[in-house]
Amino acid sequence: GDSVTQMEGPVTLSEEAFLTINCTYTATGYPSLFWYVQYPGEGLQLLLKATKADDKGSNKGFEATYRKETTSFHLEKGSVQVSDSAVYFCALSFREYGNKLVFGAGTILRVKS
């Protein structure tokens, strides 16, 4: 079945460091891809998305590019802040299957000042 694999955490960075969180997927067909962020004690917030190959999603300094050839959607940010500390989930969905989200296991990011 469809699945998403994320790099294991926690990822610990100093403020202003460069961030990469790897995400790869396995799916039959071409899903839409998402990054959601979850702050402590809260629900999930959409961070960015891409719906077709070579699309780049971006928001709040975060970016991810839909790479069909490598089935990847890696999350990057040039300079992280303490406020970026959260859990990041990569996910996929197919419109044909009711828009249901399939999540990766999540990656904890900790940013130190």
Partner 1 sequence: DAMVIQNPRYQVTQFGKPVTLSCSQTLNHNVMYWYQQKSSQAPKLLFHYYDKDFNNEADTPDNFQSRRPNTSFCFLDIRSPGLGDAAMYLCATSRRPGQGYQETQYFGPGTRLLVL
Residues that bind partner 1 (CB under 8 A): 32, 34, 36, 42-46, 49, 51, 89, 93, 95, 98-101, 103-106
- On the question of a cis peptide bond just before residue 31, with omega within 30 degrees of 0, the verdict is no
CB nearer partner 1, residue 37 or residue 111: 37
Minimum gap (Å) between residue 16 Cβ and partner 1: 28
Q: CB under 8 Å to 10, separation ≥6 — which residues?
A: 107, 108, 109, 110
Minimum gap (Å) between residue 99 Cβ and partner 1: 5
3-state secondary structure of 31: coil
Minimum gap (Å) between residue 105 Cβ and partner 1: 5
CB nearer partner 1, residue 70 or residue 99: 99
In 3D space, the residue among 66, 68, 49, 67 whose CA is nearest the CA of residue 57 turns out to be 49
